[in-house]
Structure 1
Amino acid sequence: MGVAIRAAGEGERELVVRLLDEAFQDDPVSSWVFPGEEYRRRTHHRLMAAFADAVFADGRIDLTEDGAACALWLPVPADGPAGAGPDTGSGEGAEDGPAQVRQAVDPDNERVEQIARLTDDIHPSGRAHEYLWMIGVTPGRQGEGLGTALIGSALDRCDREGLAAYLEASSARGRVLYERLGFAFTGRALDLPDGPRMWPMWREPRTR
């Protein structure tokens, strides 16, 4: 039986934020941004809320019908900024987006700003594409294929529209999964200072 997927509405913001918060509590990058389990549990949800708000405003959040998994996608135009983080769109002062997010989320934590700037710096530019910013599956449902179904649904859209797709894998396990879906490592890894490695990955659209 297939996985039912639909676009999340803004009225489901709390559901999306809670899902992302739970899904990424033990993620290597989240653990680097918010070191210490207790600190992360108190603060991490604020960053997930900033991400969700940015995508509700400018992108699409795919949600499984049962609310157990979601994927955050942002369209990046060919002439858009290299990165696609919160508040980094066009307009005066847009370059201050990472600093604004830090101020809103956790002003004393420079890593909130640093992760945005580092991923912006490595983000490909020059071609329109869809950016898979985050995909989260509630811990009790991981391993059921929900993430694969979510990504596959969006990649079908990309193929129909002739759009490439891009993401950053935050674990070696995730990289293997994305490779199975047609993504390829760009060749330039991102090693966070005193932290984990991230793998930028690109997928060309497939013709049917």
Structure 2
Amino acid sequence: MSEPSRRDEFLIAMYNQLMNDINRHIVIIWQSIGTLVAAAAAFGFVEKQILSIDVAASIVLATVVWMLAHIYDASHWYNRNLVIIANIERQFLLKEDLKEVHYYFGKHRPKGAMISHLRIQKNLGLSIALIVLVSLAYVRLGAVLFGTEEFSVEMCLPWLVAAIGIWIWVLVARDSRKKYEEFLRNSPGRDVNTEGIAYEVGHGHSKINQ
């Protein structure tokens, strides 16, 4: 076997660094979960009458939005790095390696695909936000409707944060998708004959994407 060229050495070093980048972004998401849990502790200040329930809920909702932004950023980095990794692998692997090594390098992940790990974290954040909003609607808005409490402008704060959060969520998701589409368009990598290979849920695909 011939000695690897400087280009080969560079690609291998780049390959290793890209894998490290993926791992780092996954760790960041776990740190975001810790921050969300810490933000939820704001409800403890409600009992001590340091914060109102509306302010505490707003803090939690804002943290959920922050967490979602990190998740979409991590998802973009993961998908983008996986494209580069696959493109590097295509420089060395052959068609038969689709079966003998792994089939992922033959076809890139579809647009907007999110790995299960990040999707679980996203659903956790959304579930927490939903629980907070439903609880607020029951406790605060219910009290106003039944006349046991007067309406105040502060009651609108969590809903304002939620509305802004949805807007940010849509923008971040769209931006992440566009950046990935741009990357795929400009750096598709070498063509690989994937005849006989089924790409479905194992690589972010579904039969709809075929």
- TM interval, shorter chain, is under 0.3
Higher relative contact order (CA 8 A, sep 6+): 2
Which has the larger Rg? 2
Structure (1 or 2) with the greater strand fraction:
1
TM-score w.r.t. structure 1 length?
0.26
TM-score w.r.t. structure 2 length?
0.25
